[in-house]
Structure 1
Amino acid sequence: MRRSRLLPAVVALGLLVPAGAAQAGTHPFPDRIALPAGFQPEGIAIGPGPVAYLGSRVDGRIYRADLRTGRGGVFSAGPGTPSLGLKTGDGLLYVAGGSGGDARVIDQRSGKVLKRYVLSTAPAFVNDVVLTRDAAWVTDSTNKVLYRLPRGVHGKARTLPLTGEIAYQTGVNANGIAQTPDRRSLLIVQSNTGTLFKVDPKSGHTTTVDLGGESLPNGDGMLLNGDTLFVVQNRLNVVAVLKVARDGSKARVVERVGDAKFDVPATVARYKDRLYLPNARFTTTPTPDTPYDAVSIRR
């Protein structure tokens, strides 16, 4: 039902692969998706099906692309403030609003903003989002809190202060967010310290995850697949691959994966055996003509 609900919009954009396209000499699932010049991507979400959504940190536009062809277009106009972390679920796209201090819920079919939550009227950097069974949890890299949004478009947002071992410092603090493998707690990575924390979603209490002496500096977007956690270390141009205990109390870095196509990737999403990462190019001075893309690697 959810997949068929999206189909008309995808057809309307011309994103579906024509019958026999592979036989006609095209290359399905290209490893590079070109984005509009000056787009400045950061967040990515995939699904249902081989459809990716990418947000602009310039003006909040959302670009939708068919992973089979690499073709796409802007399907939701931005509010003039950033769109950072993204997640999809129930036919909806959840968007972290960066310096706009908000979060938005967008209809995946029409691109219409169905709900906007004002999370902070003070300076904020609403950065990334993860979906749990009944909530969307959002990080703030400036304020020592998480935000809990109800799934769907009804209800109110709640602010959860972070206590315990995490200490905010100058720079980017809590960034990427994921669940623990047992789904009972949350994991957040603190970019400026490289520390991974476990968070109790009821109390906000944080404890340091034992990484066996490792750290995750420049940790950005995260993705959990079973007991494997992928952590993008943006300016290091690598993805750290960790094995995580079911309760999230400890984790082990198994390897770090780089690729020649990486140019400061920020976040990560998965489709089948591929990881997709938008190149944020934080070390490149942006102009309206600066090229941007998202790339894929096989895992």
Structure 2
Amino acid sequence: MRRNVQRRTAVGFIALLALLLPTALPATASPPSRDDVIVLDGATSAEGIAAGEGTTFYAGELMSGDIFRGDIGEGKATRFIDVPAGRMAVGMKADTRNDLLFVAGGMTGKAFVYNTETKATVAELTLSTKEGAFINDVTLTDDGAWFTNSKYNELYLVKVSRWGEVRKNVRTLTVLGEAGAALAREDFGMNGIASARDGRVLIVAHSKNQALYTVHSRSGESNRIKGPNLQFVDGILVKRHTVWAVQNMSNQISRLELADDLSSFTVKDVITSKHFDVPTTVARFGDTLAAVNAQFGRPASPHEVVLVPAWG
């Protein structure tokens, strides 16, 4: 019964997303010379992905909240954590040092933390009780895990001790400036998130504004990172001055180079694949990216992780 109820809920949610997103996809450039597909066997929805130890990855079944584990070397993935009913799994990050997986809980307004060794739920934390709240993505810093809310101008810090203990108190940061402007009910604002400068600065992707912003982790002040519009920007991954920005309905990942002062960026490459079907988030394994297909607004088919070169 649980799976049937969740499947109907998933269909309704994805149908809603389809109404908000254009139905025509832009033409893409020629695919890279190398790409592979890993099926999330049995998944009826998908959204988040995180790099684990070595070539291990974790991916989430969006509407059930279940967690898959796979290996990009072996080319397969299986259902790993069967979570209690009523959860969701959107963006996620793995803290491999402490064997923890942090998962954004979408419409539940919560964050979920799992132990990747025992599969146990370590914490279930309420981040927002506001109507329509959508906890979308997460990044890790030395202080803990930061989560975005795509419907409100808030970020949330779940602290983690040096011994890997997840604190129960949640810090709410009000985002000021352009990134924190009020949204219409149908809009998604802050989406993907990453950290820079040892966690003092957060970088967020703003879907409605088609832009990236820096957000000061203490004051909440936001500043737009100047550059071309990033249509349909979703999950982001930052490594030093390189940003990989997933553009879901554009079926592409843009590789960006940040200025030293984080004030601007230039587009260095646009990475595409014939296998992309609305990719949403991405993990990196050396020179390989693993992007998960969400297939929003598309006919039902097996959900997949697509492997592409990290450099165009």
Aligned-residue CA RMSD in angstroms? 1.7
With over 3 angstroms needed to count, the CA separation of the structure-2 counterparts of 1:174 and 1:204, relative to structure 1, is: same
Note if 1:252 corresponds to 2:252.
Answer: no
Q: Deviations over 1:56-100 (max 9, x none)?
A: 111100000122212232121233331011101121000000001
For residues 187-206 of structure 1, the aligned pairs below 5 Å read 187-206=203-222
Match of residue 63, structure 1, among 64, 68, 82: 68
For residues 178-189 of structure 1, the aligned pairs below 5 Å read 178-180=194-196, 183-189=199-205
Question: Match of 1:26?
Answer: none
CA distance in 2, matches of 1:44, 1:68: 16
Q: Deviations over 1:190-213 (max 9, x none)?
A: 1122021110000111111111xx
Note if 1:93 corresponds to 2:101.
Answer: yes
For residues 189-228 of structure 1, the aligned pairs below 5 Å read 189-211=205-227, 214-228=228-242
Question: Match of 1:157?
Answer: 170
CA distance in 2, matches of 1:115, 1:38: 24
How far has the Cα of 1:38 moved from its partner?
A: 4.4
What letter matches 1:40 in structure 2? Answer: S
Question: Match of 1:137?
Answer: 146
CA distance in 2, matches of 1:51, 1:39: 21
How far has the Cα of 1:30 moved from its partner?
A: 7.9
Contact 1:187 1:248 in 2 (8 A): no
- Gaps of at least 5 residues in structure 2 are 1-33
How far has the Cα of 1:55 moved from its partner?
A: 0.6
Q: Which has the higher helix share?
A: 2
Contact 1:184 1:247 in 2 (8 A): no
Contact 2:152 2:183 in 1 (8 A): no
CA distance in 1, matches of 2:299, 2:218: 41
Matched residue of 1:248: which SS?
coil
Q: So what's the TM-score if we normalise by structure 2?
A: 0.81
Q: So what's the TM-score if we normalise by structure 1?
A: 0.85
Q: Deviations over 1:231-257 (max 9, x none)?
A: 000000011111012332221122222
Question: Match of 1:76?
Answer: 81
CA distance in 2, matches of 1:139, 1:247: 23
Matched residue of 1:235: which SS?
helix
Contact 2:35 2:308 in 1 (8 A): no
Matched residue of 1:215: which SS?
coil
Note if 1:124 corresponds to 2:133.
Answer: yes
Contact 1:96 1:104 in 2 (8 A): yes
Alignment: residue pair count: 266
